[in-house]
Amino acid sequence: MAVFSAPYAYAESGLPGDHTISPAVADIWMIVVAACVMIMQVGLLFRSAGSGRPGNSLKVARTNLLGFVLAVIAFAFIGATLAFGQSQVFPFGTGPGLSLFDDLTSGQSALIIFQLMLGGVAITIFSGSVAERMTPKAFAATCLFVAGLVYPVFLHWARGDLLFPNLTAFLANLDFVDLAGGVSVHATAGWVALAACMAISSQDKGAFFLRSQVPGRNAIFSAAGALLLFVGWVGLNGGFAIAYGGSAPAVIVNSLLAAGMGACIGSLIALRTDRQVLPERLISGMLGGLAAVTAGAGLVDVTGALVIGGIGGAVAICGNLFVAHRLKVGDPMGVVGIYAFAGSAGAVLLPLIAPLAYLPAGGRLEQLWVQVVGVGINFYWAFGATYLFFRILDRVMLIRREENAQDGRDEVIAEWSRQYDDAERVAALAKATFEAIMIHRNGIVVDGNEELAKLVGRPLPDLIGRSIFDFLRDGEAIRVSEIIKLNDDARHEISIELPDGSMVPVAARGRDISFHGEKARVGCFVDLRERKEAEKRIRYLALHDPLTGLPNRVLFTESLNGIMAHAGDGHVFGIAMIDLDRFKDINDIHGHQAGDAVIREVSARLMAAVGPQDMVARLGGDEFAAILGSISTEQDLEAFSKRVLEAMAVPIDIRRGEQVNVTLSIGAALYSDHTADKDALIGCADIALYHAKHSGRNAFRLFRCGMNDLIEKRRALEGDLELALQHGQFELYLQPRIDVQDASISGYEALLRWSHPTRGMVSPADFIPVAEASGKIIQLGEWVLAEAVGLLDGIEGHISINVSPLQFRHGDFVANLAGLLQRTGADPRRIELEITESVLIDDDARAVQILGELKRMGFTIALDDFGTGYSSLSYLSRYPFDTLKIDRSFVANLAIAENARMIVKTIIDLGTRLGMKVVAEGVETTEEALFLAHAGCHELQGYLLGRPSKVSDIARQIDPAIAVQLKHMPRRLPEIRDSGFHRDADSRLVGKLA
């Protein structure tokens, strides 16, 4: 009887379809195949032992043998019938059970037994991946399920016509090619292993991982197992060729070439990724090539075998990396990549590489479609059925061994440590690290890596045997000999001397190890040259002005501290504070680029005016300072200042021939003639600069005694401020604001007054700057807010409160206001907060945020002193102002300058069009009041309408005569004349200082 009665024998392709096996040949063939299977079993056993943990070797051997035996039993009793029995209805064979073997010829029986042994191989492949992590009961159940159902059912679909025609052998009927079981055996085993690994690894939490390098003696077991597996596998492929009437030598040669090419590809990948040829990469490539060529070793030529083997090796390695790193599945033997991915890839590649005459489907695309369908069905069936089986089994019994759940990755790492001594680990890691590593014993170099040779500038052989003290130099904080004694992990900065004598800063750390059985010390060195250069650059940027390259305020202060710390008795030097005169006008008229050009040129001229012992710094903006170490007398200071002023007399080119004239004001002081304190010395120079500016600018002033009266006065006031807050010496005065429409009082502005017990009434122009400089303005401002809110019940209309820039920028400003409203229950709509333009200049983004919060709380916001700032008009469109207050300077000039009247009318018209209430301050004459009212101003404030008074004395209405004039304003206004008396600066809490 013919072995094949169906087209699977590829009669149409030139392979004999009626090939038979004689009884004698069948017996010999069976012995050879059995020997090859046993060799494969031994190889798989060694592979499992080599990839597992040494403590589990007994489990590996037991499960390997148990799995093979259970597979044979399950296939003989159930699987053979499912695979080769005849069926017209079910998608598997249904009869006749064990009697199937009764009517077979010896050749047919041999082929059935051959498939039975291949089923055992599939189970052994699977067991090597997960058996040591499974409980015996779960493993036995899985073996019976796979060998009795999964493997035979797919075998029925792919080769169910082996004995007689079967309609349910649909893949065979489609001419699916799988000569030696590359898909039905190896890929099935791989997909089953993937399902098992996913079920178990989800509970192992990553305790197992794919190893690219097997440590210690495990590498020997793993390599020996791979070689045995290789010999058995090649022999098995040759035996399969004999069974099908093919050329056994050709199949064996193709198998050898594919395995060799796969090993070569594995080596190349290892060199690319690991920078060395690691055993597992080579083994995976070799076995992947074998798995890929198994499906059609008899159908391809030598070139095809090489191509399939190379691709199979690459697919095996990449597949294992995908499983380990993307799927996060533990597969120590790499079963999934080698058998599932590579076996399937070989079956799909076959139609593209094999001669067209050997393709039973008749065409490459037709055969490719059949192969892809077969491989896909194999995956869905083998993986899907097994994974579902594990999900059900997990509900019935424990799948995973408990000890594996507990040891996990720590045990694997511990095993590595037990099998490698310190020297071997250092040698392995030293090749992969970017740092220089050196091993020395008693100060003599015994080994190192190439990075050490590069860092020291000498070949490694020249370093071995030399003393470390020949090239290691002590650091600033520690000696090399002390580092050797410490045996710690701390980093210490030392230097390495190169052959040319130059020094390389390095960070060194080390510890004691065992090297070839003796105590030694390993040291690691990190080159710090780049870091030192970066630190130097960062320090330069932190201490220098980016525009001019001059030292900044920080470096100026450090240098001044250093000079004063080393100055002996009688040592004299000078400092000068230098400001550009009206530099803002240059920026406003010519633009900031012109301003930058001026700053750079001024810096260059100042540097040209000083000597080698002097230093010029840019403190910020248009402020400069100089430490004059070569100056010791007042005459020297005057000479220096004269040189600077003369140098600045030359115009500065700003662009394309355009020039500007720039002048300077200079204030100077001498150490230690004027003071020996750093802050006081700077203060003396600042005071002298103040006097230079107020003497007409473009001038120099040397500090003189008596110039610091202002400083002394402010110091005294600062000490009294704290007592004034404690003893309640502050009081709020209220000044009315008049509604122009009906001449009624619409509200009051709260003004702070200080009644000093000995000084009397202290002017806000004196104590407000002191409060701001000392930081007490925050506490003072909170007192004013609380006091003003408390006055609401005793007045009509709203109350307007000035807010200091420092208070406005304070982090708790909004929160404090919210708390004040909550405590008092005051209506925020009756409270108007006045801010000045300086608040907006300092931090535009934060100002927008705070003003938005205040508006949402219900407060009214007023822009105070409008028209005196830098960019007043631009603020009106960006900030939520309700009120615009015209600065008193414009009102005072109404009787003097025609353009003042035009400016005031423009401001009133602008504010009105933007929907703001316009208030004029400093109204002191009837003519001014009538002009402002006629121009459209909404409210007026000034001495004419009511002076600031105590709460008990405040005016409830204005002078009736003035009220009548406002109500019956004439169409033609009288000429505005100067009042002739001194206008008192109505100083407020903030921003109203003369």
> Tokens 């305790």 correspond to what residue?
207
Q: How confident is the model at residue 938 (pLDDT cuts 50, 70, 90)?
A: very high
Rounded distance, CA 54 to CA 876, Å? 81
> Residue 160's pLDDT is what?
81
**Residue 330: pLDDT over 50:** yes
Rounded distance, CA 376 to CA 319, Å? 16
Tokens linked to 178: 């799988």
Q: Is the dihedral of CA 45, 50, 52, 54 positive or negative?
A: positive
**CB crowding 53-87: b at 16 or more within 10 Å, else e:** beebbebbeebbebbbebbbbbbbebbbbbbbbbb
Range in 218-232, 360-374, 843-857 the model is least confident about: 218-232
> Residue 448's pLDDT is what?
87
Amino acid at 451: E
Mean per-residue pLDDT, 161-175: 83
Rounded distance, CA 185 to CA 115, Å? 9
Q: Where are the beta strands (DSSP E) in 703-792?
A: 730-739, 744-756, 760-762
Amino acid at 619: L
Q: How confident is the model at residue 842 (pLDDT cuts 50, 70, 90)?
A: low
Are 507 and 493 a contacting pair, CB within 8 Å? yes
> Residue 207's pLDDT is what?
38
Q: How confident is the model at residue 708 (pLDDT cuts 50, 70, 90)?
A: low
**Residue 992: pLDDT over 60:** no
DSSP for 118-136, written as a single string: HHHHHHHHHHHHHGGGB-H
> Residue 26's pLDDT is what?
54
> Residue 753's pLDDT is what?
93
> Tokens 């095993």 correspond to what residue?
415
Q: How confident is the model at residue 58 (pLDDT cuts 50, 70, 90)?
A: low
Which pLDDT tens digit goes with each residue over 680-692?
Answer: 888 889 888 988 8
Amino acid at 362: G
Number of Cα atoms under 13 Å in the Cβ half of residue 885? 25
Averaged confidence pLDDT in the chain = 80
Tokens linked to 25: 């040949």
Which pLDDT tens digit goes with each residue over 636-665?
Answer: 999 999 999 999 989 998 877 788 889 999
Mean per-residue pLDDT, 542-564: 90
Strand partners, 627: 575, 615
942: left (phi over 0), alpha (psi -120 to 50) or beta: left
Are 490 and 504 a contacting pair, CB within 8 Å? no
Mean per-residue pLDDT, 769-797: 88
Q: Measure the CA angle with vertex 953, ends 951 and 958; round to 5°.
A: 110
Which pLDDT tens digit goes with each residue over 867-902?
Answer: 765 545 667 777 889 999 998 888 888 888 778 888
Mean per-residue pLDDT, 837-863: 83
φ, ψ (nearest 5 deg) of residue 193: -65, -40
Rounded distance, CA 330 to CA 404, Å? 12
Could you give the residue ranges of the DSSP H alpha helices within 591-738?
A: 592-609, 634-647, 678-693, 709-727
813-824 vs 844-857: helix crossing angle, rounded to 10: 10
Which pLDDT tens digit goes with each residue over 717-734?
Answer: 878 888 888 888 999 999
Are 29 and 21 a contacting pair, CB within 8 Å? yes
> Residue 6's pLDDT is what?
31
**Residue 276: pLDDT over 80:** no
Preceding peptide of 746 cis, ω within 30°:
no
Q: How far is CA 797 from CA 100, 740, 781, 800, 885, in A?
A: 111, 15, 22, 10, 18
Mean per-residue pLDDT, 346-350: 91
Mean per-residue pLDDT, 526-546: 87
Are 123 and 67 a contacting pair, CB within 8 Å? yes
Which pLDDT tens digit goes with each residue over 600-621?
Answer: 999 999 999 998 889 999 998 8
Rounded distance, CA 842 to CA 875, Å? 13
Q: How confident is the model at residue 27 (pLDDT cuts 50, 70, 90)?
A: low
Number of H helices, E strands in the chain: 38, 22
Which pLDDT tens digit goes with each residue over 89-123?
Answer: 778 878 665 455 566 666 666 667 777 777 777 87
**Residue 802: pLDDT over 90:** yes
Are 41 and 197 a contacting pair, CB within 8 Å? no
Closest of 821, 813, 714, 729 to residue 771, by C-alpha: 714
